[in-house]
Every structure is written in structure tokens, then in C-alpha cells.
Amino acid sequence: MYLYLPIAEMSVNALIILGMGGAVGFLSGLFGVGGGFLMTPILILMGITPPVAVATEANQIVAASVSGVIAHWRRGNVDVKMGIVLVVGGVVGSAFGVWLFTILREIGQLDLVVRLAFVVFLGIIAALMLIESIRAMTRNPRRTPPKRHHHYWVHGLPFKMRFRRSRLYISVLLPLSVGFLVGILAAIMGVGGGFVMVPAMIYLLGMPTSVVAGTSLFQIAFVTANVTFMQAVTNQTVDVVLAMLLVVGAVIGAQFGARAGTRLRAVYFRGLLALLVLAVGGKLAFDLIVTPVDFYSLGTVLRVE
């Protein structure tokens, strides 16, 4: 079933896109991870141009994070005050990111930067996941959980604010800069940025793990919505048809993933996910360093003087 994507301006097999959305949704339901860091590079490898892949994936993540944040909201696992501070940082960061995105696109280096960013982040994620799954499989029950409330230099920063839900009294600059950084990633890579934000919230901000997932999804929902809007206005690269296909696939996939997660021992699958992440990142890295078939490529003239 071929479908012509109006913004990507290419003909794709709708069933393949639905299936991919489903597969990535299944993984995100199974492991509780966002799918952006897998979906965007897969779209790029499929031949969808990085500008369209990044902007469209941001649109898809809006849907995924909204359904996630609703579930966490019902259980009261969202620190709204912290979330708002993270959103403020994220909106500024993503605005900066979209600006950077447009400039990179004009000078013809966007594809390279997006691909490089994915190689670096996918490499780090895969390495961390492999270590974690090996550790979990070898089972060391006496491993002491990391202590929160360490006192680093960051706790000497000014503008302290109280976050009751997280039981924290920290400088507002910390969550602002975390949000800012994640906002840039969202704009340039078309990811939610949970893989950066969640560890930062736990280890840097010292938030209790119970509110981390809900609060990060809260931030992701607003920031990816901002990215969608800004990309639509500045670059016109959001393909709603593609986004909706991915959303439908992901929603169904996530349901099965979440159910499978209650039955399967996710530890072993985490190792497989790490290998998958490694494979996608490896393919992107390979394409960057292997001598190209053709040294020349066509670019769009964005500004005609």
C-alpha cells in the first residue's frame, strides 16, 4: 500500500511505516524508553531527509509523551513546579536549537551534524545499556544504591527554589540548564531527550525516582510541541501524514510492549535493545567514514540572492 507523503515528497509503503512505528512503540512500552532516538535515525536510513525526519519525529513524540504523562498524572507522579521550570529551559533551548538547525541547513552541514549527534548519543546509550544489562545478568544483590543528596559545587549556586513534590531546595539554574540542553537535542535530533534528562534529574538534581519519569514526560510533551510549531513555521518540514502513521503504529505497539514487559524478563531484552541501538548507530557511523560512492551531492538553494 503505497502512500505519497506530502511534505517528505516521496512515496512510501504505509504498512512498513506502520510496522516500524509498532516495533519502536513495542520497545518503548517494554523498556519505558522514548522511541525518538531509534525512530529518527531509522527514518533517515530509510531515505527520508534529516530535516523532515527530525521535525516529524518531534511531532510524533508529542503524542507519545502526552499519553505517557496522562498515565503518570493519574498516579500523581508529576512534579508540576519542577516540570514548568524544565519546560521554560526547554522552550528557550529548543528555540535556540531550531535557529541552529536552520543555519546548519543553509550552510549544508545539517545532515552531518544530525548524523554525528546520533552516532555519539547512540554509542553512549548502547554502552550504558550493555553495562547495565551485563551487571543485572551477573546479579550483584549487595550493590548499594547510589546515595542522593551529595553536596557538590552545584549546590552553591544562587537563586534557590523549593520543589515540595521532589523534596528539594536547589538553585533554579540547574533544572533550567538541564531543560535548555534537552531542548537543543529535541530541536536538532528529533528526540524527546529522556535519555539525557532522566539521569540528570536523578544524579544531578537529586529528584526522587518516583517523579522522574512523569516529570520528564511533562517537559518532553511541551518542548516537542514547541519544536513542532517552530519547525513548521521556520522550515515547513513537519509531515503530519508520516507523523500520524508513526503515532498509530507506536500507540498499538506500546500497548503490546507494556503487556509483554509484565511477563518477560526485560533484563535479557535490554541487552538486545543495546545491540539494536549499537547497530543503528554503527550504520550511521559507517556511512560517515566509508568513502562515498559519489563525492558530490545535490543541495537545495534555500536563499536565492
Partner 1 sequence: MRRLAGIVAITASLGWAPMVAGQELAVDLSEEGVAITTGFSGANLLLFGATQGEGDVVVVVRGPTQSQLVRRKENVAGVWVNRKGVTFYNVPAFYTVAASRPLDTILTDLQRLDYQIGADKLTLVPEGGLAPDPQANTFRDALVRIKMREKLYSETVESVKFVGERLFRTQIRFPANVPVGSYAVHVFLVDDGTVTKAQTTVLEVRKVGFEARVYDFAHRYSAVYGILAIVLAVVAGWLGSVFFRRG
Residue that has been written with the C-alpha cell 507519545 in this structure: 64
By the rule CB under 8 A, 216 interacts with partner 1: no
Stated as kind and residue range, the H or E segment containing 286 is helix 266-289
Shortest separation between residue 281's beta carbon and partner 1, angstroms? 14
Residue 27 CA to residue 270 CA, distance in Å, equals 9
Min separation Cβ 119 and partner 1, Å: 9
Q: Which pairing describes strands 160-163 and 168-171: parallel, antiparallel, or unpaired?
A: antiparallel
Amino acid letter at 233? V
Q: What is the DSSP letter of 2?
A: E
User: Of 28, 40, 65, 216, which lies in the binding site for partner 1, with binding defined by CB under 8 A?
Assistant: 65
Q: Residue 199 carries which side chain, given as an amino acid letter? A: P
Binding status of residue 238 toward partner 1 by CB under 8 A: yes
Mark residues 93-132: x for contact with partner 1 by CB under 8 A, - for none.
---------------xx-xx---x----------------
Set of cell numbers at residue 244: 500520524
Between CA 62 and CA 83 the distance in angstroms is 15
| CA 117/CA 125 separation, integer angstroms | 12
User: Site mask, partner 1, residues 248-287, x = CB under 8 A?
Assistant: x--x--xx--xx----------------------------
**Residue in 225, 245, 273, 277 binding partner 1, rule: CB under 8 A:** 225
C-alpha cell at 38: 531509534
User: Is the CB of 166 or the CB of 224 nearer to partner 1?
Assistant: 224
The CB-of-251 to partner 1 minimum distance in angstroms stands at 4
142 makes contact with partner 1 (CB under 8 A): no
- Give first-to-last CA distance, the chain, whole Å: 42
Collect all residues with Cβ–Cβ distance below 8 Å to 285 and sequence separation of at least 6.
119, 123
Counting contacts by CB under 8 A, is residue 30 touching partner 1? Answer: no
Q: Which residues of the shown chain bind partner 1 in the complex (CB under 8 A)? A: 2-4, 6-7, 9-11, 59-60, 62-68, 70-71, 108-109, 111-112, 116, 221, 225, 228-233, 236, 238, 240-241, 243-244, 247-248, 251, 254-255, 258-259, 288-289, 291-292, 294-301, 304
